[in-house]
Structure 1
Amino acid sequence: MPTGVAIRDVREQLFDAAERVLLRDGPSALTSRAVTTEAGCAKGVLHRHFDDFDGFLAEFVLDRAGRMAPQAFALLEAAGTGTVAGNLTDALTDLFDSVAVAIVPLIIFRDELRARLRRTWPSGIPLLAEAAAMIGSYLTAERALGRLTPDADVETLAPTLIGATHHLFADRTGTPPQRETVVRTVNAIIAKTLP
């Protein structure tokens, strides 16, 4: 791209390019050159908008974590409808069919990225922590509606559901799990909390 040509929504264009590279080629292929090539812009564009590549990646991760709000709202709205296991299965499948499953190894892979994220996100992995909060809010609503037992330990159930489901989806190069596998996992985890 010639110098001096304005690019609209540079951050979003670069974030979308990073997501495509990450999903297609994995975390080890995510470099500043790969991102700018995918975005169709000069490498200097990234460095004009971000301090360095780890700064770019930290903002990318936080941006993607922030995009979970509509999914969290939809799941909360589903409380009291369908089945608890069905609603959880849909939400967890949507979550791990997304870029979230690829971001987790990226964060684990890059020490400086983890350090940057700790400045604004003191514990946990941002996408997984947001997902646990989303699941926790939903389970709390279902408990209030009497669709979970009054003693259902939502604070333990939410991260357990996230961890178990992430394990099912963790191999990004393999075949995603069948819905029945996710349903069986969810049911095994919540079985004792159903009235």
Structure 2
Amino acid sequence: MPTGVALRDVREQLFDAAERILLRDGPNALTSRAVTAEAGCAKGVLHRHFADFDAFLAELVTDRIRRVEAQAAALREDAGTATVAENLTLALLELFGSVAVAVVSLVIARDGLRARLRLAGSTGIPVLSEATSMIAAYLTAEREMGRIAVDADVDALALTLIGSGHLLFAGREDDPPDAAAVQWIVTTAIADVVQRRLL
């Protein structure tokens, strides 16, 4: 393996390589050798930037959590636009159409990674926990605008939507559900709290 290959953003290239392996081959195929081979760099490159492979994986998950947090900020800004169902459908398609499902599989498959993430303050299942908070914050904003019922339990709705979305997408990397299937879940979950004309 050549060692003189110039890497623009080494961390991001290694993260992208890890995501490709996760999506293509699953969490059990993810090794430091596989990641560096996929990224086209020497194995030592990973260890120059991360203390060990578990540290790399923890940073990968943390980076993906930051992406969910960025998506959450954008979704909150969408409150009051389009319809509640449209905004939620697009948010779930973006979330689960990305590498989120594969990252969740990775966290579940590696005890050491889960332990390291918990020590860093992560609770629940990383990525899914942040996604649930994202949906709850959005629904709270919509409730404050009067577009969903004042007594709507936004936390329960968020759990329902994230859990249903994860189940819908899990194990279907080659044949992901279409927007209509996601919208059906969303409209069913929120039917009792959103005025019909705002769905």
Report how far residue 6 of structure 1 moved: 5.5
Give runs of aligned pairs for residues 1-195 of structure 1, distance below 5 A: 1-3=1-3, 7-195=7-195
Identity among equivalent positions (%) equals 66
- Checking the alignment, whether the CA contact within 8 Å between 1:79 and 1:142 is kept in structure 2 is yes
- Structure 1 stretch 179-188 or stretch 162-171: which is displaced more? 179-188
**Partner Cα distance (2:129, 2:150) in 1:** 24
- Checking the alignment, whether the CA contact within 8 Å between 1:102 and 1:172 is kept in structure 2 is no
Instruction: Show structure 1 runs of 4+ deviating over 3 A.
Output: 1-8
Gaps of 5+ in 1: none
Spell out, residue by residue over 1:20-43, the C-alpha distance to the aligned partner (whole angstroms, 9 max, x if none): 111122212111111000111111
**Partner Cα distance (1:121, 1:174) in 2:** 33
Report how far residue 9 of structure 1 moved: 2.2
Report how far residue 69 of structure 1 moved: 3.4
**Partner Cα distance (2:68, 2:85) in 1:** 20
CA change 1:99–1:173 in 2 (3 A) is: closer
TM-score, normalised relative to structure 2? 0.91
- Checking the alignment, whether the CA contact within 8 Å between 1:107 and 1:125 is kept in structure 2 is yes
- Checking the alignment, whether the CA contact within 8 Å between 1:101 and 1:172 is kept in structure 2 is no
- Checking the alignment, whether the CA contact within 8 Å between 1:65 and 1:127 is kept in structure 2 is yes
CA change 1:80–1:173 in 2 (3 A) is: closer
Gaps of 5+ in 2: none
Question: What code does the residue aligned with 2:178 have?
Answer: Q
Report how far residue 2 of structure 1 moved: 4.1
**Partner Cα distance (1:70, 1:18) in 2:** 21
**Partner Cα distance (2:105, 2:182) in 1:** 21
State how many pairs are aligned: 195
Question: What code does the residue aligned with 1:135 have?
Answer: I
- Structure 1 stretch 113-122 or stretch 35-44: which is displaced more? 113-122
- Structure 1 stretch 55-64 or stretch 5-14: which is displaced more? 5-14
CA change 1:81–1:3 in 2 (3 A) is: closer
CA change 1:6–1:173 in 2 (3 A) is: closer
Report how far residue 127 of structure 1 moved: 0.9
- Checking the alignment, whether the CA contact within 8 Å between 1:27 and 1:106 is kept in structure 2 is yes
Question: What code does the residue aligned with 1:49 have?
Answer: H
